């Protein structure tokens, strides 16, 4: 980066702002404000690469700030930094704020520096690309869910325009993913009684352009936080599935996939945090084979 | 009670002999049975009445017993409930002291029942009922204590979640500041070492000009690269860090006061301090949305259970904050008057409708959405204040706000110690 990237910090506690500003000012142009509404104005006025917002503020929530920033400056990478894990806030931050990372207070100086630096690099690369529609046939949809009503619902929504494949078997699902042009994956994080969130995360690591819509009954703050940071899920929807919600999410995911095909650097936005706990070890060897092949396919 | 049934054909004199027989000495009456089914009852008293007449035995002795028996005896089926049986007996038995009633099973005679038996059975049943009632009462009391406990846990849980946020914020910048200082300390140590080296060279008699130049170059180079905060920034950094740590300590101290259910009554409690503590812990719901105005009077210290009263005040503050949509104001007023301490919590919230107002102290009554209130907060607050010998009054104007007034007696009313903590 020749020119320093700009970051905007939003928190109602000015000591947080002072502390973070001191941390970042050596590397970035830093804007700070205690007022979420002002933050939106700053993002509208100045070119902001990364915004980091607190969630609980007196006159506006962080999710609201990020949603508005997204409207006025769609290329700005959005991060939520919060000390209180309110499930609804996290769900909203995925669905409305389309956030890049969910950070918790207290944070680690090194980690936040790495995350913000990475976000800034992505934002700079986004500036060089032009978003658009790649045209051509829309990619297919893959449903990984044992519930036949979900498969039926997705088929009904997609009609004849988009091909819908489904599987309730992880190995088979990944084989389908490797063999076909898949734009959107609709899945639960539990499949036949097993937790498959590791696979959901691995999916994004290998195929960043595939948009993941997670539909689940599970409402766990920690799981969701990890799905955002490691799996970069595109939408998080409750079960039982609601058609209207799913339809809107599928449309948005398909559009996003198309524009990424047109400008592949957009996929950078969905870079995931490297999974240090190595949950990949929990995946089957067969699955690892597919992952390897997909990785090679990507680099070739 | 076993009593031989007598045939309707038996003569009065034969029945009289049966009554005189010692084996039947305790029987007040004998059943008259036709093929096992009761058709009447003849009592000792009736028999005496007949025979004591002049020529009674001569006149009636040869007549069948059916002529003098009570042909409408009280018959009770053996499976009749005790209270129903006693009702029938008291209503229908004409001579309860002299006559018994007949017990049947499927209409067939099985024995005689005396009123005394019934009384004994009733008494036993009453004793059992009393025992059951006592057990139920004990259970109720235990579950009430449990309810108080779970309401406390629920409000604590809500509070802890909020306080976690309150603590994580200062913790966030304190940790960040320390980590930054740590990162910078390496550069600072190198700079100090270079300075000391320069000083050593300057004061060393054997140092050459080249040595000095080398030292100076090192120092200059370090000065250019070392990432060390400006003194003004450092001062701020330390001040912020100290402030954050103080804030965390304060929150933790207040939490500690709250969570200790077993704390004994203290006799030097300043209610103004209790209120301040409650305000601090509810800061999360108040945020800067709700302005808290304090009009504290000079209060004498009182004897009370501070942790319980804290719970009352926290509950009222939380309710007040939740009643206020958007910005608003909570007035906290304390005053001492004529043997009482008065604490008023007045909000500018949406108020309580008149039809709801009488029910707000009822256990489990809540207007909050599921998961947001147990419906026990005010009912427990009421109990706590009552145990302290005080009362809670409420007035509300829908659309304008609500005022809760807690009155506590100045005279040391020792609150009843909780039976379980």
Structural domain contains residue B216: no
> Looking at the predicted structure, is the pLDDT value of residue A114 above 90?
yes
A4: its two tokens: 């320093």
Domain edges within chain A: 6-128, 140-299
Q: Which residue of A has its CA nearest to B181?
A: A23
* List of residues 6+ apart from A164 with CB closer than 8 A: A140, A141, A142, A143, A151, A154, A155, A158
pLDDT at position B344: 94
3-class DSSP state of B287: coil
Assigned fold of A140-299: Rossmann fold (3.40.50)
Question: For A15, which of B161, B173, B179 is closest by C-beta distance?
Answer: B173
The total domain count for chain B is 2
Cβ contact (<8 Å) for B172 and A26? no
Structural domain contains residue B243: no
pLDDT, one tens digit per residue, over B304-323 is 888 788 888 988 998 898 88
Residue of B157, B160, B173 for testing the chain A interface, max A β-carbons within 10 Å = B173
Q: What is the distance, to the nearest Å, from the Cα of residue A108 to the centroid of all Cα atoms in its chain? A: 21
3-class DSSP state of B189: helix
Neighbours of B66 (CB within 10 A): 18
Tell me whether strands A101-104 and B266-269 are parallel, antiparallel or unpaired.
unpaired
Percentage of chain A with pLDDT > 90?
34
Structural domain contains residue B151: no
pLDDT at position B121: 83
pLDDT, one tens digit per residue, over B200-233 is 888 888 888 888 888 888 888 888 777 777 888 8
Rounded to a whole number of angstroms, the distance from the CA of A88 to the nearest CA of chain B is 14
pLDDT at position A272: 67
Rounded to a whole number of angstroms, the distance from the CA of B148 to the nearest CA of chain A is 26
> Looking at the predicted structure, is the pLDDT value of residue A278 above 50?
no
B130: its two tokens: 């009393």
Residues A192-200 have a mean pLDDT of: 86
Structural domain contains residue B122: no
d(CA B243, CA B241): 5
Residue of B363, B276, B285, B296 whose CA lies nearest to B320: B285
Residues A17-45 have a mean pLDDT of: 95
Residue B290, beta-bridge partner list: B328
Q: Which residue of A has its CA nearest to B289?
A: A58
Tell me whether strands B290-296 and B328-337 are parallel, antiparallel or unpaired.
parallel
Cβ contact (<8 Å) for B176 and A107? yes
pLDDT at position B369: 63
Structural domain contains residue B76: yes
Which domain-ending residue is among B89, B113, B137? B113
Structural domain contains residue B206: no
CATH code at position B32: 3.10.580.10
Which domain-ending residue is among B69, B97, B113? B113
Q: Which residues of chain B have pLDDT under 70?
A: 95-97, 148-162, 256-264, 288, 363-364, 368-375, 412-421
pLDDT at position A299: 44
Cβ contact (<8 Å) for B237 and A106? no
Q: Which residue of B has its CA nearest to A54?
A: B169
Please list every residue in chain B whose beta carbon sits closer than 8 Å to the beta carbon of residue A22: 177, 180, 229, 233, 237
Count of alpha carbons within 13 angstroms of residue A99, beta-carbon side: 35
Cβ contact (<8 Å) for B287 and A56? yes
- Decide if A219 touches B, using CB distance below 8 A: no
Cβ contact (<8 Å) for A109 and B227? no
Cβ contact (<8 Å) for B164 and A83? yes
Work out whether the CA dihedral A148, A150, A152, A158 comes out positive or negative.
Answer: negative
pLDDT at position A20: 96
Return the CATH architecture of domain A6-128: 3-Layer(aba) Sandwich (3.40)
- Which 119-158 residues of chain A touch chain B by CB within 8 A? none
Please state the three-class secondary structure of chain A as a single string: CCCCCEEEEECCCHHHHHHHHHHHCCCCEEEEECCHHHHHHHHHHCCCCEEEEECCCCCCCHHHHHHHHHHHCCCCEEEEEECCCCHHHHHHHHHCCCCCEEEECCCCHHHHHHHHHHHHHHHHHHHHCCCCCCCCCCCEEEEECCCHHHHHHHHHHHCCCCCEEEECCHHHHHHHHHHCCEEEEEECCEECCEECHHHHHHHHHHCCCCEEEEEECCCCHHHHHHHHHHHCCCEEEECCCCHHHHHHHHHHHHHHHHHHHHCHHHHHHHCCCCCCCCHHHHCCHHHHHHHHHHHHHHHC
Helix (H) or strand (E) holding B42: strand B37-43
Which domain-ending residue is among B113, B133, B157? B113
Structural domain contains residue B167: no
Rounded to a whole number of angstroms, the distance from the CA of B304 to the nearest CA of chain A is 34
Q: Which residue of B has its CA nearest to A23?
A: B180
Work out whether the CA dihedral B263, B269, B275, B279 comes out positive or negative.
Answer: negative
Domain limits at B31?
Answer: 12-113
Q: Are B201 and B207 in contact (CB under 8 A)?
A: yes
Q: Which residue of A has its CA nearest to B226?
A: A26
Please list every residue in chain A whose beta carbon sits closer than 8 Å to the beta carbon of residue B170: 13, 15
State residue B260 phi and psi, 5-degree precision. Answer: -85, 100
Structural domain contains residue B161: no
**ipTM score:** 0.74
CATH code at position B278: 3.30.565.10
Cβ contact (<8 Å) for A104 and B180? no
Q: Please state the pTM of the whole predicted model.
A: 0.63
d(CA B104, CA B334): 74
Residues of B with CB under 8 A from a CB of A: 161-162, 164-177, 179-180, 183, 227, 229, 233, 236-237, 240, 243-244, 287-289
Cα→Cα distances A189→A151, A201, A232, Å = 15, 10, 13
> Looking at the predicted structure, is the pLDDT value of residue A28 above 90?
yes
Question: For B172, which of A16, A58, A110 is closest by C-beta distance?
Answer: A16
């Amino acid at each position: 980066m020749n020119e320093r990237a700009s970051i905007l910090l939003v928190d109602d506690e000015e000591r947080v702002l002072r502390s973070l500003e001191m941390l970042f000012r050596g590397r970035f142009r830093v804007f700070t404000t205690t007022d979420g509404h002002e933050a939106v104005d700053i993002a509208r006025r100045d070119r902001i690469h990364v915004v980091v917002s607190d969630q609980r503020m007196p006159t506006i929530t962080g999710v609201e700030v990020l949603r508005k920033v997204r409207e006025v400056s769609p290329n700005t990478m959005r991060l939520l930094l919060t000390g209180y894990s309110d499930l609804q806030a996290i769900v909203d931050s995925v669905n409305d704020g389309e956030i890049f990372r969910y950070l918790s207070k207290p944070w680690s100086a090194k980690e936040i520096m790495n995350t913000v630096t990475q976000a800034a690099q992505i934002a700079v690369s986004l500036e060089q690309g032009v978003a658009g529609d790649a045209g051509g046939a829309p990619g297919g949809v893959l449903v990984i869910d044992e519930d036949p009503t979900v498969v039926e619902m997705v088929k009904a929504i997609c009609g004849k325009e988009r091909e819908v494949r489904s599987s309730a078997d992880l190995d088979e699902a990944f084989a389908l993913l490797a063999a076909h042009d898949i734009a959107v994956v609709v899945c639960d994080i539990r499949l036949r009684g097993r937790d498959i969130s590791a696979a959901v995360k691995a999916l994004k690591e290998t195929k960043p352009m595939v948009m993941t819509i997670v539909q689940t009954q599970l409402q766990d703050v920690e799981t969701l936080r990890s799905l955002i940071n490691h799996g970069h899920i595109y939408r998080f929807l409750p079960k039982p599935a609601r058609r209207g919600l799913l339809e809107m999410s599928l449309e948005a995911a398909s559009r996003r996939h198309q524009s990424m095909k047109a400008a592949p650097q957009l996929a950078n936005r969905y870079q995931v945090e490297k999974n240090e706990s190595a949950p990949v070890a929990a995946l089957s060897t067969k699955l690892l084979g597919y992952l390897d092949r997909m990785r090679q396919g990507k680099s070739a | 009670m076993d009593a031989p049934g007598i045939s309707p054909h038996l003569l009065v004199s034969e029945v009289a002999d049966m009554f005189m027989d010692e084996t039947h000495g305790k029987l007040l009456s004998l059943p008259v049975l036709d093929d096992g089914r009761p058709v009447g009852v003849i009592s000792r008293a009736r028999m005496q009445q007949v025979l004591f007449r002049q020529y009674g035995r001569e006149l009636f002795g040869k007549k069948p017993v059916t002529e003098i028996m009570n042909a409408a005896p009280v018959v009770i089926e053996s499976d009749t409930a005790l209270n129903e049986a006693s009702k029938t007996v008291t209503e229908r038995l004409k001579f309860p002291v002299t006559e018994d009633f007949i017990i049947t099973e499927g209409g067939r005679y099985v024995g005689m029942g005396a009123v005394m038996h019934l009384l004994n059975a009733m008494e036993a049943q009453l004793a059992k009922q009393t025992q059951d009632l006592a057990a139920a009462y004990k259970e109720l009391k235990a579950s009430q204590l449990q309810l108080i406990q779970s309401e406390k846990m629920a409000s604590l849980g809500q509070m802890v979640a909020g306080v976690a946020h309150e603590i994580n914020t200062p913790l966030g910048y304190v940790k960040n500041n320390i980590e930054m200082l740590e990162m910078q300390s390496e550069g600072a140590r190198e700079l100090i070492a270079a300075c000391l080296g320069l000083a050593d060279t300057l004061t060393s008699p054997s140092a050459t000009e080249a040595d000095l130049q080398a030292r100076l170059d090192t120092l200059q180079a370090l000065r250019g690269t070392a990432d060390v905060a400006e003194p003004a920034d450092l001062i701020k950094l330390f001040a912020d860090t100290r402030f954050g740590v103080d804030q965390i300590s304060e929150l933790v101290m207040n939490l500690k006061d709250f969570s200790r259910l077993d704390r004994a009554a203290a006799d030097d409690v300043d209610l103004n301090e209790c209120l301040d503590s409650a305000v601090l812990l509810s800061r999360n719901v108040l945020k800067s949305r709700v302005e808290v105005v304090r009009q504290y009077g000079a209060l004498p210290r009182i004897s009370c259970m501070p942790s319980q009263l804290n719970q009352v005040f926290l509950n009222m503050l939380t309710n007040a904050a939740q009643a206020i949509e958007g910005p608003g104001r909570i007035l906290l007023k304390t005053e001492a008057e004529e043997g009482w301490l008065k604490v008023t919590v007045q909000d500018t919230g949406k108020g309580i409708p008149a039809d709801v107002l009488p029910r707000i102290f009822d256990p489990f009554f809540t207007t909050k959405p599921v998961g947001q209130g147990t419906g026990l907060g005010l009912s427990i607050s009421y109990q706590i204040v009552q145990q302290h010998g005080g009362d809670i009054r409420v007035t509300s104007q829908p659309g304008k706000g609500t005022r809760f007034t807690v009155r506590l007696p100045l005279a040391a009313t020792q609150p009843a110690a909780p039976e379980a903590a």
